[in-house]
A and B are shown apart, each in its own frame.
Chain A
Amino acid sequence: MAKTGVKNSEVKLAIANRGEVAVRIILAAQELGIPTVLLHSEVDVGTRAYRMADEKVCIGPATTADSYLRIDRNIEGAKAAGATMVHPGFGFLSENADFAQACIDAGLIFVGPKPETIRALGDKISAKQLIEKANVPTVPGYAGADQSLETLVAHAQRIGYPVIVKAAAGGGGRGMKVIRSKAEAPELIASAQREAKAAFGSAVVFLEKYLDHAKHIEFQVFGDFTGRCVHLFERECTVQRRHQKIVEESLSPSLTPELRAQMAAAAVGLAEKAGYQGAGTVEFLVQDGEFYFLEMNTRLQVEHPVTEMVLGVDLVKAQILTALKAFRIWKQSELTPRGHSIECRVYAEDSYNRGLPSTGELLGLHWPEGPGRRYEVGFEAGDEVTAYYDPMIAKVIVWDEDRPRAIRKMLRTLDDSVIFGVKTNLPYLKAILSHPDFVEGTMTTQFISKYFPEGLESQEPTEEMTQFAQAAMKMVDAGSAGAVGSGRTIETPWAQGWRFV
């Protein structure tokens, strides 16, 4: 970093987000000496970010459409608290050009690229047109303005099944469906349009040929306020369920140096053409040694920590300082990756019942500390995982000298992580990390549907576990164990007898 602090005491950062990314941004701001304002919904007073922020402004009820997705309320909240800049995090309004513009119009610095850049790249249809001009290969598809069901079905037929339908304004798996036959095309396209409308306010979708043994590999790029761009190498995010990433790593175990160089050049080329400023990610699918542009995310990425771990950088501080024109980015030659980093997304969902979401109060949390372990957590014990938002509880990140060691470290770390109160995907994550295809690094985006389509098989407790629980029960009965339920009772319709969660 060219500068480690911000001396301007008149800087104040509003955070238009929640959960673990709000915590991440607050931590970065604290280190920079910048006070923070959290723009939060009514229910999110029970979160870690709320307790950490210097100031808080409630911008509406729990429903995202009435709070986190409301441009006007976020701007009003930021202005009311005297903020001078806004960090949108990821999801919500982070890729909304209108929001970026509204910030600027209100005299606020938007931490991210210029609105026109977001408009050109954030919309997947125009991004594809842009990248075609930049001569980067794309997947065959349809990205036309005619959004009638008949036209979309006809194009799906022309492209040839399997075809994937996606929300033009979206990300994170919402509004995405794989169509495998003509028979299911109308239903799935209509469903994708509804999800797109509900999640992003726009029902516009596009179609693509679905590559069925591809890897998802993305390049982190960063542009500074002078227009210079660098890449921060790649992340492989091939392990996905319903197009939502679960396990991410850097570097990818799948790229040859030649392919890496080609893809990096394509990513930087696109960012430079777009006049990109700040952190962005260029996503590709890689199959049979060929790469295809997927989309560009004009924001910080959920999985940014693995990049930070292998390169020793702080992307969030770099974002804030770039927005303040206080940071000239790294030279490409300064960016040398070392070791291997893996991130696991810990979700409140049932590993033994098709990954269905689980909600409730977090009765206990323990994150085992150790060298090369990092946790991004938005909750503390006593907080509630609600059905209003993404069911992610935490991100667990590890770094070690090489990939096999990083996998072993992650397995041990997940073993020692304790989450009480909701069912979690911890057993599922461990099964993924132990699978030969993952260990070999040969997994494709079909990994989950191929090996774990219905989650895991339920298990019987071991003798040891049974005795442990019986001993614990006795201590509770004797009144010697803490936190015996005195508050309200959580609904536990599934807790009959023993459950492996």
Chain B
Amino acid sequence: MRIIEIEVNGKTVKGYAVMRGGVLWTHANGETWTTETGSKRRGGKAGGGLSQNPGEIAAPMPGKIIKISAPEGTVVKSGDVIIVMEAMKMEYTLKAQASGYVSEIRAQAGDQVTLGAVLAKIAVESEKK
């Protein structure tokens, strides 16, 4: 970790930086940011590997599948519990983001899953027609 001091528009900004695995960590003005080396893209929404597709249920963290609450074929409403998983000793429920039916389940109770792994698919109502 290195202390860095630069001038921006006549104002001194002092902070910390460290580089690891192609990611630059910076801290200044009470904020911490990460930047991927070489990347010009900014303001990426913090998605944490979450699938943005409402028809997919992805693991929001690495952990263990406790229960499949809605097996394949179950008709579900947005907000219904599809899968229960455990991480850091807490249970988390993964809920349907859209109404439809469960078209695919890719995990079973007891499985260890990685961050972002797609665990289930929902055939969204509008697509069904």
Q: Which residues of A contact B (CB under 8 A)?
A: 64, 173-174, 187, 191, 194-195, 198-199, 242, 350, 352-354, 356-357, 359, 361, 363-366, 381, 387, 389-391, 414-416, 418-421, 424, 426-427, 430, 458-469, 471-473, 475-476, 481-485, 487, 489-490, 492-501
Contacts and interface: CB of A to CB of B under 8 A. Distances in A.
A199 B40 CA distance: 45
Nearest to B20: A485
Interface string B42-69: 1111111110000000001111001101
With most chain A CB atoms within 10 A of its CB, the pick from B9, B22, B43 is: B43
Contacts of B116: 493
Nearest 8 pairs of A and B residues by beta carbon: A415-B30, A364-B1, A497-B41, A352-B46, A472-B17, A489-B21, A497-B44, A420-B25
A496 B39 CA distance: 8
Given A391-B88, A420-B25, A465-B31, A353 B46 contact: yes
Contacts of A501: 25, 32-34
Given A356-B60, A420-B27, A483-B2, A496 B44 contact: yes
A419 B39 CA distance: 22
A195 B43 contact: no
B95 to A, nearest CB: 11
B32 A426 contact: yes
Contacts of B16: 364, 366, 418, 420
A352 B36 CA distance: 18
B37 A475 contact: no
B18 A420 contact: yes
A498 B33 contact: yes
Interface of B: 1-2, 4, 6, 8-9, 11, 13, 15-37, 39-50, 60-63, 66-67, 69, 81, 84, 86-91, 93, 115-116
A463 B33 CA distance: 13
Contacts of A195: 86, 90-91
A364 B23 CA distance: 13
A494 B19 contact: no
A350 to B, nearest CB: 6
Given A350-B46, A389-B88, A414-B30, 11 more contacts: A187-B69, A199-B89, A357-B87, A418-B32, A424-B32, A461-B31, A464-B9, A485-B22, A492-B36, A493-B49, A500-B33
Chain B interface main SS type: strand
With most chain A CB atoms within 10 A of its CB, the pick from B36, B45, B46, B91 is: B46
A381 B48 contact: no
Contacts of B26: 465, 468-469, 472
Nearest to B84: A191
Nearest to A471: B6
A191 B85 CA distance: 10
Given A173-B90, A356-B48, A473-B35, A483 B4 contact: no
Contacts of A387: 62-63, 87-88
B80 to A, nearest CB: 10
16 contacts: A64-B89, A195-B91, A356-B60, A363-B1, A389-B89, A418-B27, A472-B2, A472-B24, A473-B37, A476-B17, A481-B4, A483-B2, A483-B18, A483-B20, A498-B44, A500-B33
Nearest to A349: B88
Contact of B43 (A467, A494, A497): A497
B42 A364 contact: no
A147 B115 CA distance: 35
A485 B37 CA distance: 12
A493 B29 CA distance: 26
Contact of A364 (B18, B21, B37): B18
Contacts of A389: 88-89
Nearest to A359: B62
A497 B42 CA distance: 5
A464 B46 contact: no
A214 to B, nearest CB: 22
Contacts of A472: 2, 4, 15, 17, 24, 26
A215 B33 CA distance: 35
Given A353-B60, A494-B48, A463 B2 contact: no
A366 to B, nearest CB: 6
Contacts of B35: 469, 473, 495, 497-499
A432 to B, nearest CB: 15
